[in-house]
């Protein structure tokens, strides 16, 4: 693979809002162009998609105009995520006018949510594929090339793509994602993911450790273990978690804390991160593993969604405000230097002004280092859409969101100021976006740190003395 190129565009204010166009040129065969939207799991899936098609002799391209096959890997988490994809389809429509043989495929969560309806609504689409059917892509492309529409939106109880070696197209050669579970069994009432990604299943730990080892051997220095709820990971020789638990015997099973340790032991110089943790399932065993292994990064993304117990209850989150705060206390006790971030939704159905205030006071108690914040967006088919009215006016949702953002801006700045005057261990990921003379990387707590390049290079661990900051970045100089 030569001439790899990446373009990262900011298309949303959120973690979900990054688009990555992955590409490489060269050789013969048909050319594939992929764009990805949504969460890290979707980006990880695009690497599986590319791998499946490269095995078929495809090459990837960053140039839409020269593509034979154009794929967009989509997100359905909020309405604006879907609108953005529809906007991209308009652009693809123009490209297809110039090249009528172009095959256009929609994959991922929006494909799974809309199924064949997508073919009716967007005439330009030739292929619709859900997240569990990527092995079928070569076949679907062949069908589409004959001028027929091709659809596979079957969800699986087993598929984990465990044996597929993802093509690391969009990366920096230092940090990589590894999916450890697929699907979600939680049924939070606002959330579309259980419908678009199916039942939760865990991947064979041997294949996870092997992937981490191979990455380390080819120069990678950080892996992020991915799942909608990593704490729920449970391997028992295959099958759904509920089937493993039903047996009532956990001998020979591997839980998340044990998996973390297995990956951490690949090499002390391989950093291990994970996302996302769930407040109802995060165990002390995981925290103790973090405290024991220096290479398991002291950082937890622990989405709270709301600071009010009644709202959490109708969200079906499975914990109360008090339970959540106790989990935070435990993190601070066992992993004192832990960075903590969260997700918050404002204006969920029936949320009162007082209940919104509870979210603000919780934020002040926890003092998150970072947060992803959203207005509630009703998703068709979810429990909330069926049971509750989306009754908070747009402007109230928006005002509550800006209050949440204001508090977080202050807290992020405060958190960064606490890091001044200290030395941080940084894994260098690349050149600073703002200056060629500077490098950037992250400390274990996941904060971005920028410092003068000197003779350091991507992939180095560097001790950086931090003496300046913005609300988003720490700034410093390397020390010996
Ligand atoms: N599995 C993760 C979340 C995945 S979705 C967890 O349970 O925490 C990422 C975030 O998107 C969620 O944490 C939530 O804050 C937000 N989100 C999900 N559905 C939403 C909706 N309908 N409207 C607004 N935000 C939503
Ligand atoms: Fe959605 Fe809840 Fe599952 Fe997260 S845990 S993916 S919010 S259903
Ligand atoms: Fe979006 Fe699907 Fe991820 S809905 S957030 S791409 S699991």
H/E element, 425: strand 422-431
Q: Examine the domain organization and report whether 439 and 338 are in the same domain.
A: no
pLDDT over threshold 80, residue 229: yes
Atom of ligand 2 nearest to the CA of 194: 8
Per-position b or e across 309-346, b if 16+ CB within 10 A of its CB = bebbebbebebbbeebbebbeebeebbeebbbbbbbbb
The mean predicted confidence, pLDDT, of the chain is 92
pLDDT in tens, 376-430: 999 999 999 999 999 999 999 999 999 999 999 999 999 999 999 999 999 999 9
In this predicted structure, what is the pLDDT of residue 168?
Answer: 87
Range of the domain at 73: 26-152
Predicted pLDDT at 250: 84
Specify whether 110 is located in the same domain as 229: no
CB atoms within 10 A of CB 139: 13
Same domain flag for 115 and 210: no
The residues facing 33 across adjacent strands are: 70
Q: Residue 188 Cα, ligand 2 centroid: separation in angstroms? A: 6
pLDDT-based confidence at 6, cuts 50/70/90? very low
191, 197, 276: residue to mutate for ligand 2 pocket, most atoms within 8 A of CB: 191
pLDDT at 4 over 60: no
Contact present, 105 and 72 (Cβ < 8 Å): yes
Q: Give pLDDT, residue 243.
A: 79
The CATH code of the domain that includes 291 is 3.80.30.20
Q: Where are the alpha helices (DSSP H) in 198-343?
A: 205-217, 241-247, 256-264, 284-292, 309-314, 321-334
Residue at 158 is within a domain: no
Nearest Cα residue to atom 10 of ligand 1:
343
> Encoding tokens for residue 320?
């109360």
Closest CA to 155 of 118, 113, 189: 113
Same domain, 352 and 236: yes
Same domain, 405 and 432: no
268 belongs to a structural domain: yes
pTM of the model: 0.92
In a domain, 16, yes or no: no
pLDDT (0 to 100) of residue 27: 27
286 shares its domain with 408: yes
Helix (H) or strand (E) holding 177: strand 175-179
Looking up residue 453, the CATH number of its domain turns out to be: 2.40.50.140
Q: Is residue 138 part of a domain?
A: yes
Is the shortest distance between the CB of 188 and ligand 2 below 6 Å?
yes
Q: Is the dihedral of CA 253, 259, 262, 266 positive or negative?
A: positive
Point out the ligand nearest to the CA of residue 80: 1
How many domains in the chain? 3
Residue 329 lies in a domain: yes
- Give me Rg for the CA atoms of the chain: 22
Cα dist from 355 to 191, 220, 362, 406, whole Å: 20, 45, 11, 17
Asked if residue 50 belongs to a domain, the reply is yes
Report CA 125 to chain centroid distance, whole Å.
Answer: 26
Using pLDDT thresholds of 50, 70 and 90, give the confidence band for residue 239.
Answer: low
Could you tell me if residue 68 is inside a domain? yes
Please tell me the distance between residue 187's alpha carbon and the centre of ligand 2 in angstroms: 6
Position 1 pLDDT exceeds 60: no
Q: Are 234 and 293 in a shared domain? A: yes
Query: Is residue 353 situated within a structural domain?
Result: yes
Same domain, 387 and 368: yes
Work out the average pLDDT over 334-343.
98
Q: Please state the separation of Cα 368 from the chain's center in Å.
A: 19
Question: Same structural domain for residues 138 and 188?
Answer: no
pLDDT tens-digit profile of 250-283?
888 999 999 999 999 999 999 999 999 999 999 9
Residues 335 and 203 in one domain: yes
């Amino acid at each position: 693979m030569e001439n790899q190129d990446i373009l990262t565009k900011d298309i949303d204010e959120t973690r979900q809002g990054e688009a990555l166009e992955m590409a490489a040129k060269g050789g013969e065969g048909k050319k594939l162009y992929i764009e990805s939207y949504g969460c890290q799991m979707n980006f990880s899936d695009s690497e599986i998609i590319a791998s499946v098609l490269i095995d078929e002799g495809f090459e990837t391209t960053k140039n839409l105009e020269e593509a034979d096959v154009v794929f967009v890997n989509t997100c359905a988490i909020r309405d604006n995520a879907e609108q953005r994809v529809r906007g991209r389809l308009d652009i693809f429509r123009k490209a297809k006018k110039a090249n009528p043989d172009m095959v256009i495929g929609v994959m991922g969560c929006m494909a799974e949510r809309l199924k064949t309806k997508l073919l009716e609504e967007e005439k330009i689409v030739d292929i619709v594929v859900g997240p569990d059917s990527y092995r079928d892509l070569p076949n679907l492309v062949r069908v589409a090339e004959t001028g027929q529409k091709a659809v596979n939106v079957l969800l699986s109880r087993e598929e984990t793509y465990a044996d597929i070696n993802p093509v690391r197209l969009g990366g920096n050669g230092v940090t990589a994602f590894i999916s450890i579970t697929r699907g979600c069994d939680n049924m939070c009432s606002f959330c579309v993911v259980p419908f678009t990604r199916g039942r939760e299943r865990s991947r064979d730990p041997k294949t996870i450790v092997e992937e981490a080892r191979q990455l380390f051997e080819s120069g990678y220095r950080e892996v992020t273990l991915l799942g909608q709820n990593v704490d729920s990971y449970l391997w028992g020789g295959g099958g759904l978690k509920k089937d493993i638990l039903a047996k009532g015997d956990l001998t020979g099973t591997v839980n998340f804390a044990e998996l973390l340790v297995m990956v951490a032991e690949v090499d002390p110089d391989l950093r291990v991160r994970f996302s996302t943790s769930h407040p109802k399932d995060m165990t002390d065993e995981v925290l103790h593993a973090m405290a024991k292994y220096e290479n398991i990064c002291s950082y937890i993304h622990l989405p709270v969604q709301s600071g009010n117990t009644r709202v959490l209850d109708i969200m079906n989150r499975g914990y109360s405000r008090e339970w959540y705060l106790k989990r935070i206390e435990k993190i601070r006790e066992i992993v004192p230097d832990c960075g903590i971030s969260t997700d918050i939704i404002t204006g969920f159905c029936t949320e009162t002004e007082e209940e919104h205030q509870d979210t603000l006071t919780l934020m002040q108690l926890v003092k998150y280092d970072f947060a992803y914040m959203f207005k509630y967006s009703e998703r068709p088919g979810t429990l909330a859409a069926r049971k509750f009215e989306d009754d908070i006016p747009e402007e109230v949702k928006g005002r509550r969101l800006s209050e949440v953002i204001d508090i977080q801006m202050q807290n992020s700045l405060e958190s960064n100021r606490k890091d001044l005057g200290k030395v941080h261990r940084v894994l260098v990921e690349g050149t600073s976006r703002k200056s060629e003379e500077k490098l950037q990387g992250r400390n274990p707590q996941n904060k971005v740190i920028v410092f003068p390049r000197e003779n350091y290079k991507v992939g180095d661990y560097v001790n950086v003395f931090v003496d300046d900051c913005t609300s988003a970045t720490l700034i410093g100089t390397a020390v010996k």
